[in-house]
Homo-oligomer: A and B are copies of this chain.
Amino acid sequence: MPVTSTPSTPARPLADMAGVAKVLDSGHPNFKKGDLVWGITGWEEYSLLSATKALFKIQHTDVPLSHYTGILGMPGMTAYAGFYEVCSPKKGEYVFISAASGAVGQLVGQFAKLLGCYVVGSAGSKDKVDMLKNKFGFDEAFNYKEEADLDAALKRYFPEGIDIYFENVGGRMLDAVLLNMRNHCRIAACGMISQYNLEQHEGVHNLMNLIPKQARIGGFLAPDYHHKYPQFLELVLPYIKEGKITYVEDIAEGLESGPAALVGLFTGRNIGKQLVVVARNE
């Protein structure tokens, strides 16, 4: 009875994806009938899972199970690893997040606010921008589609420059950030969704600025940080229970709604983490 979610990168949309499921039968000593798990499952109602390395038993059921496809699953770990591990953030730093209303971005922004950073996000619609400011508590947010000059936009929001950039889009946004870095700027490259469907990726022209700014770009994958999952839960579960973190899910009902939900990610239709509910836990 999996509650499933669309994957961050649509490499094999009809195969693997991140989901929540209930064990119906198991030949693995770590999993038994009735266990709830999250991890790599399938776009299907019933799955035979052999890759148990990417499967985690759900220990805390006093939060919505769907959260394990998001804030307590891979997107949460991605936000945590990218922000805390890759960027080593400090209180008071200037943080910029692109695709900030997405599953990962909204969490990074809230982590940064809880740490005492100044946080600005970009998104692709007025509704998303409003949500960033009013629901997630970002200091500022802007609609990148309304900014002809991204460099000028960033200079407006970061007159003193950017310490941390959480990169979800790539291309010309990255180029503009490279013009607005403070010394020792850290860029966590999580995704570059603006580039995925281009035949030729856009050129990034301002990498040379990494040198005088002594800045760095680091790509990362959340599974590399799976050993940090317990620390992550220790940080995030209290935030959720105390209402200090808001998490938005965009729920599509039924497996048959999956393809449209997936395509919607690329046109910016979804608001928050896109889920596809295949079945609910009874």
Question: Interface residues, chain A, CB within 8 Å of chain B?
Answer: 170, 174, 189-192, 195, 200-221, 224
- Given contacts A202-B203, A214-B224, is CB(A192)–CB(B208) below 8 Å? yes
The number of times this chain is found in the oligomer is 2
The 7 closest A-B pairs by CB, nearest first: A203-B203, A210-B219, A216-B218, A211-B219, A201-B205, A192-B208, A204-B204
- Given contacts A203-B205, A205-B201, A205-B202, is CB(A191)–CB(B216) below 8 Å? no
A201: which B residues are within 8 A, CB to CB? Answer: 205-208
Tell me, rounded to whole Å, the shortest Cβ–Cβ distance linking A75 to chain B: 15
Tell me, rounded to whole Å, the shortest Cβ–Cβ distance linking A173 to chain B: 12
Tell me, rounded to whole Å, the shortest Cβ–Cβ distance linking A206 to chain B: 7
- Give CA–CA (A217, B205) in the complex, Å: 15
- Give CA–CA (A201, B215) in the complex, Å: 18
A212: which B residues are within 8 A, CB to CB? Answer: 219, 221
Tell me, rounded to whole Å, the shortest Cβ–Cβ distance linking A21 to chain B: 26
- Give CA–CA (A45, B224) in the complex, Å: 56
- Give CA–CA (A221, B202) in the complex, Å: 28
Could you list 20 examples of A-B contacts with CB < 8 Å? A170-B208, A174-B207, A189-B210, A189-B211, A192-B207, A192-B211, A200-B205, A201-B207, A203-B204, A203-B205, A204-B207, A209-B219, A210-B218, A211-B219, A211-B221, A212-B219, A213-B219, A214-B219, A214-B224, A216-B218
Complex: chain B residue closest to A190, CB-CB = B211
Tell me, rounded to whole Å, the shortest Cβ–Cβ distance linking A226 to chain B: 13
Most buried by B among A191, A210, A213: A210
A219: which B residues are within 8 A, CB to CB? Answer: 209-216
A190: which B residues are within 8 A, CB to CB? Answer: 211
Partner of A211, one of B191, B202, B203, B211: B191
